[in-house]
Chains A and B, each alone.
Chain A
Amino acid sequence: YSYFPGQPVWPESRRDLTYAFDPSNGLTDTVKSVFTSAFARWSEVTPLTFTQTDSYNGADIRIGFYNGDHGDGEPFDGILGTLAHAFSPPSGRFHLDDAEEWVVSGDVTTSSLTSAIDMESVAVHEIGHLLGLGHSSVEEAIMYPTIPSRTKKVQLASDDVQGIQSLYGANPNYNPSSTSTESTQQNDTSDAH
């Protein structure tokens, strides 16, 4: 695991965080529930909590889907390529590429759409950035930078857990045995491994 330069974290006074969705996206409850699940994976292992709010401007974490140049100097590039990005604490900005073919639920590994991207997998990764983690060289880790299409990878690996707990401590109710090291399901035919 790694951190951003300077190891930024959410301050002690802000450990119960709120998140909201850009109202202009008009996301359905089904889509929003994917992010709820993704946040839960991080709160399970840390003392942090995440609560959805309707107040977009007042939220600690602001989530939105955008195309191309969306004003933060990090334009998206259309289908595949970069999928999303998120800023280090305490920025809270979480942007996803609206051009992707996002699969909200179901077994993405069986998709006939070769460019299908599992939304929760990307959400769990980006939340790691929002909390202060950088990229990891451990392929099983959520914080590994790449994810092939038609792949689901949502469970934190021990590398992720060690990284986030070194920043915020452990959830008193955390059960280490629940962390999977085999967290990836993949059906990518584009790579000849």
Chain B
Amino acid sequence: RFFPNITSIPPWLQPNSTAVQGAWDSFKKFGGCHPGEKSDGLSKLKNYFHYFGYIPNSPPSSNFTDDFDDELESAIKTYQKNFNLNVTGELDEQTLNHITRPRCGNADIVNGTTSMNSGKSTSLNSKHFHSVQH
């Protein structure tokens, strides 16, 4: 739908607008899910990470399990680096809020490489600064 101007949005559409669910809003139910756990639908989140390049060389998407395994934890950490989030490897609220945002369909990591934060050297990712007094 095109709205030539924001004022052209019909009133009958607006009352229902708060009920609109985004394509990934269901991921918010994984909040607090930890490595080693199993949760129904987690395979869909793995598909998400696979689609945007965070789970490389994976089997066909239908083969993803609902296990919070090392592969998923690694993907979450890489995602958190790329988006300047706290690198916890967990599905915390901040990370899930970001994952469910609308976004460009192009992958962040192509063929395993990226120039986003996660593709830069470790020293550039470090938050620790070392100084020497001269």
Could you mark each residue 76-117 of chain A with 1 if its beta carbon is under 8 Å from any beta carbon of chain B, else 0?
111111111110000000000000111111111011111111
Q: Which residues of A contact B24 (CB under 8 A)?
A: 80-81
CA A191 to CA B2, docked complex, whole Å: 25
Q: Do B23 and A114 touch (CB < 8 A)?
A: no
A93, chain B: closest CB distance, angstroms: 12
User: Quick check: is B123 within 8 A (CB to CB) of the other chain?
Assistant: no
CA A112 to CA B22, docked complex, whole Å: 16
Question: Closest residue to B9 on the A side, CB-wise?
Answer: A113
- Chain A interface helix/strand/loop/mixed: loop
Q: How many residues of A contact B (CB 8 A)?
A: 56
Q: Do A28 and B104 touch (CB < 8 A)?
A: no
B6, chain A: closest CB distance, angstroms: 3
B26, chain A: closest CB distance, angstroms: 11
Q: Do B22 and A81 touch (CB < 8 A)?
A: yes
Q: Which residues of B contact A1 (CB under 8 A)?
A: 115
Q: Which residues of A contact B20 (CB under 8 A)?
A: 79-80, 113-115
Could you mark each residue 1-25 of chain B with 1 if its beta carbon is under 8 Å from any beta carbon of chain A, else 0?
1111111010001100110111111
Q: Which residues of B contact A117 (CB under 8 A)?
A: 102
Q: Do A85 and B106 touch (CB < 8 A)?
A: yes
User: Quick check: is A64 within 8 A (CB to CB) of the other chain?
Assistant: no
Q: A78-B23, A80-B23, A136-B116 are in contact. Are A116 and B104 (CB under 8 A)?
A: no
User: Quick check: is A46 within 8 A (CB to CB) of the other chain?
Assistant: no
Question: Closest residue to A2 on the B side, CB-wise?
Answer: B115
Contacts of A95-143 to chain B: CB distance below 8 A: 100-108, 110-117, 119, 122, 125-126, 129, 134-137, 139
List residues of chain A with CB under 8 Å of any chain B CB. 1-5, 28, 30-31, 74, 76-86, 100-108, 110-117, 119, 122, 125-126, 129, 134-137, 139, 145-149, 190-193
List residues of chain B with CB under 8 Å of any chain A CB. 1-7, 9, 13-14, 17-18, 20-25, 52, 81-84, 93, 97-98, 100-106, 108, 110-111, 113-117, 119
